Structure 1
Amino acid sequence: MKFTHTLLIIFGCCLLINCAKEKNNDFQISGDQVGKLSKQSLARDIELIFEKDSVVKDTVKLNFGSGASKIKIYERGGALLLTLTPNNDSIATIQNIMVNDERFVTEEGVSKLSTFKEIRENYSIKKIITSINNVVVLLKDSDLYFTIDKKELPESLRYNANSKIEEVQIPDNAKVKYMMVGWD
């Protein structure tokens, strides 16, 4: 009897250790995955994928029959997790994802709370695009990209929308404004 009891305790401990080691991928960003979403996820299945969360679609677009332009995913507690934009294909998938919650993190440890230095140290930068108010940082071999507000840049670079901004001109401590994933 004592042996069986000891065996049950050992089995229970092993089970608890294995459960604790399982990684929660709900906030993990990797190659073709953003949390529960994959590159192959269909827009029509979003409510099933996020069945424990709240899914809010653009009702104006839905009423006119052209599909939702934006789909917002809220955690049950009310926090905005993701903003999704489906493509217009006959079988729509997710084209763009705006990561709204800072708990989403890449395999390299980069999140919405990261700085430009962390992005530069973990990824190769493919291109920097300048707009009126922002700078968009595109990465090599990744669907992930970041937007940095021009307010984070030196004064001399803020007001010229036509200026070409180089990687070395962006301060290390520049904060990420938007963290996005673009799937073709």
Structure 2
Amino acid sequence: MNKLIGLFLLSMILIQCGQDKDTLIAKNQLGKIDKSTSIEELDKIFKNDSVEKFPLNADITREYRVFGVGGKPSLIFMPRVHNDSIKGLELVKIYSSQYKTEKGISTSSTFKDVVDNYSIDKIEPSFSAAILFINELNATISLNKQDLNLDEFDMRKIDQGQIPDEASIMYISLWFE
């Protein structure tokens, strides 16, 4: 009986680990997806999801949007385009909290969670966000400027001390080298 319970628990752990790998954010990789993944492969990977290629009816896809529950994008892929042909993927913007780093960071995490788990290599302002550069992941994390009590178009330098611990993540951009 103990062996049967042990086998059951082991199989549950292995199943859980397999599920986590599909949603793991790692350097140059999102689950099974990396820079060499083609648009055709994305079609197969997300065949059960609502997907939109943008621009519609164009020869070259500039964005590949995967929609989650509620009609909001969960992922936006941007292919690397060279001389009007697609050469793999350049980046993916991650909006869904189901995708997490090995250290548990997702779009439902806070600035404090990021600081506690990763080294922030640089902070840059954009019109609507503070962008955190995380070289360990080859990723950037965008924080809403409203959470920082900064004006939307304020382009002054932002330092780590200005960012409240509870500042929320708008999205994570994972860059493929």
TM-score of the pair, normalised by structure 2: 0.82
1:50 aligns with one of 43, 46, 49: 46
2:136 maps to 1:141: yes
Structure with higher strand content: 2
Is 2:79–2:90's contact at 8 Å kept on the other side of the alignment?
yes
State how far apart, in whole Å, the 2-side matches of 1:179 and 1:44 are: 24
State how far apart, in whole Å, the 1-side matches of 2:108 and 2:98 are: 9
Is 2:55–2:62's contact at 8 Å kept on the other side of the alignment?
no
Name 1:128's counterpart in structure 2: 123
Segments of 5+ residues of structure 2 without an aligned counterpart are none
Name 2:35's counterpart in structure 1: 39
Give the AA of the match of 2:125: T
RCO higher in structure (CA 8 A, sep ≥6): 2
State how far apart, in whole Å, the 1-side matches of 2:32 and 2:49 are: 11
1:28 aligns with one of 21, 24, 27: 24
Give the AA of the match of 2:118: Y
Q: Structure 1: which 4+ aligned runs deviate by more than 4 Å?
A: 12-15, 75-79
State how far apart, in whole Å, the 2-side matches of 1:93 and 1:79 are: 24
Name 1:101's counterpart in structure 2: 96
Instruction: State the 1:160 CA deviation.
Output: 6.2
Is 2:27–2:136's contact at 8 Å kept on the other side of the alignment?
no
Is 1:53–1:76's contact at 8 Å kept on the other side of the alignment?
no
Give the AA of the match of 2:35: K
Is 1:123–1:140's contact at 8 Å kept on the other side of the alignment?
no
Is 1:74–1:80's contact at 8 Å kept on the other side of the alignment?
yes
Deviations 1:116-142 (A, max 9, x none): 111111111111111222111111332
2:167 maps to 1:171: no
Give the AA of the match of 2:22: D
Q: Out of 105-114 and 92-101, give the one that drifted further.
A: 92-101
Instruction: State the 1:144 CA deviation.
Output: 1.7
Question: How many equivalent residue pairs?
Answer: 171
Segments of 5+ residues of structure 1 without an aligned counterpart are 1-5
| Secondary structure of 1:73's aligned partner | strand
Is 1:112–1:179's contact at 8 Å kept on the other side of the alignment?
yes
